Amino acid sequence: MQADTKTSRAARPRVVIIGAGFAGVWAARRLSGKPVEVTLIDRRNHHTFQPLLYQVALAALSPGDIAQPIRTMFRNQPNIDVLMDEVESIDAESHRLQMRSGATLEFDYLILATGATHSYFGHDEWAAVAPGLKTVEDALEIRRRVLLAFELAERQKLEHGSHPPLNFVIVGGGATGVELAGAIADISRVYMREEFRHIDPANAHVLVIEGSPRLLNSYPEGLSRDAERQLQERGVEVHCNSRVTDIQPGYVVVDGKRVESVVTLWAAGVQASPLGAMLGAKTDKRGAIVVDLHLNPPGMPNIFVCGDLAHVEENGRLIPGVAQPAMQMGRHAAEEILADLAGKPRTLFHYFDKGDMSTIGRHSAVANVVWPFKEHLQGFAAWLAWLVVHIYFLIGFRNRILVMLQWVWMYFGFSGGPRLITGSQKLPGWTTLTGNDAPAADPMDPTSPGVVEKHHLVR
């Protein structure tokens, strides 16, 4: 009986899904229990709910609240294998993948959904000084830096009577930048207001630097103005039409002016994962693979590209690289494969836009609702809508309950989440202002606490 089962499975078409983000997971879900053998490959063992990563970065949630082990998600789907590995090359003609482990994997259908990473516009050296936010590791590093800045300020105030200004600079005014700015303002003004004895965390200064004329550039202009107003009510300083030309430990250069920064965060650009280049298909300037409305690169009907890795245009409009279309693309790719197996014609992908929303902080958000009704929401109403949507799409009943309870506790108890600092206690650019007590600067070490000598905010 066991041999018959193995023979039966081997005779089924093999679908390989690379990437366990939104697109990959939704594709695998649709193919579970179907007459195909699915191999889901990711270099990490967990799926991350990226829209809530910023809450891990600012200590509102723990990593386990927004991440789920991939094997746990599919443990009851016997036709889905999970492989923790990384693809090094793709041979589209022979339908083979070369894995980093040395293994070779064959496929009948391939779904590429490896997402995107940070783009520093040719300045990759900025990454060590200004981390972006795409993974749990990124979130923990941002949390370490932000919380450590307050701890170092408290220690220095106690020991020396002064400390550098707590300036937090966020490069980029899209959804990630806006959410990070609001969250830093909240933890400094609300959740940590009574936890320090020698500094006032509310004196922290948050700046958002955006190159375009307004924040949330893809949102309706009225909601952009609402977002900027809600940030300013939290003390956040917004600079639009501004360009960052250099980032160094302890400061950034904006339009030729030096702006002191104890923590700099990057939220300005993304580029597709390098897997797109391996395929040999046409890519756009972000490295995303140009595909048709079947989600296939030209001449590759058995290969589907989904999520941030796909450049898809519908009615002349580029479909955005966010969670909602990624889930729809993953499901559509699976439907195309099932249509082939059933001998049915394929259908074109159509993006069902339900709207966008971004939280500004505690009981504040903006929402461009398209479905089930058209409405622009801001403030508390938008924040409630944001809560409901994110709880609904979180994977795992346990995660939904934990996140909901944590948010209730924070809202009514004015108590922050797990503000744990792990790893190095050094902060790029931190300087002891008294001079004699400062460690000697090592210009070759970006984490050296003596690299920058002065901290003055240029406005």
User: Do 222 and 286 reside in the same domain of the chain?
Assistant: no
User: Do 264 and 219 reside in the same domain of the chain?
Assistant: yes
Whole-number Å distance between alpha carbons of 277 and 73 = 30
DSSP β-bridge partners for residue 366: 358, 378
User: Do 168 and 314 reside in the same domain of the chain?
Assistant: no
Residue-by-residue pLDDT tens, the chain, 459 positions: 444 444 455 679 999 999 999 999 999 999 999 999 999 999 999 999 999 999 999 988 899 999 999 999 999 999 999 999 999 999 999 999 999 999 999 999 999 999 998 899 999 999 999 999 999 999 999 999 999 999 999 999 999 998 989 999 999 999 999 999 999 999 999 888 889 999 999 999 999 999 999 999 989 999 999 999 999 999 999 999 999 999 999 999 999 999 999 999 999 988 988 887 888 899 999 899 999 999 999 999 999 999 999 999 999 899 988 899 999 999 999 999 999 999 999 999 999 988 899 999 888 899 988 776 778 899 989 988 888 888 888 877 777 888 887 777 777 666 667 888 988 899 988 875 444 343 333 333 444 433 333 333 333
User: Do 215 and 304 reside in the same domain of the chain?
Assistant: no
Instruction: Find the CATH number of the domain harbouring 321.
Output: 3.50.50.60
User: Do 256 and 205 reside in the same domain of the chain?
Assistant: yes
pLDDT tens, residue by residue, 260-281: 999 999 999 889 888 878 888 9
The answer as to whether 280 is a domain residue is yes
SS3 81: strand
Pairing of strands 310-311, 289-290: parallel
- Residue 334 — φ and ψ, nearest 5°? -65, -40
User: Do 134 and 257 reside in the same domain of the chain?
Assistant: yes
Q: Is the dihedral of CA 315, 317, 321, 325 positive or negative?
A: negative
Q: Which amino acid does the sequence have at 83?
A: L
Contact 27, 334 (CB under 8 A): yes
DSSP β-bridge partners for residue 367: 357, 377
Instruction: Find the CATH number of the domain harbouring 138.
Output: 3.50.50.100
Helices 22-31 and 323-341: angle between axes, nearest 10 degrees: 30
Beta strands in 103-178 (DSSP E): 104-106, 109-112, 116-118, 167-171
336 in active site: no
390 exposure class (CB count in 10 Å sphere: 0-12, 13-18, 19+): buried
Domain count across the chain: 2
Q: Which amino acid does the sequence have at 150?
A: F
Distance of CA 342 to the CA centre of its chain: 37
The answer as to whether 423 is a domain residue is no
Residues of the domain holding 239: 125-268+356-413
| Annotated active-site residue in 179, 228, 260, 336 | 179
Rounded CA Rg of the chain: 24
User: Do 222 and 254 reside in the same domain of the chain?
Assistant: yes
Whole-number Å distance between alpha carbons of 189 and 417 = 15
Q: How many CA atoms lie within 13 A of 215 on its CB side?
A: 33
316 exposure class (CB count in 10 Å sphere: 0-12, 13-18, 19+): exposed
SS3 385: helix
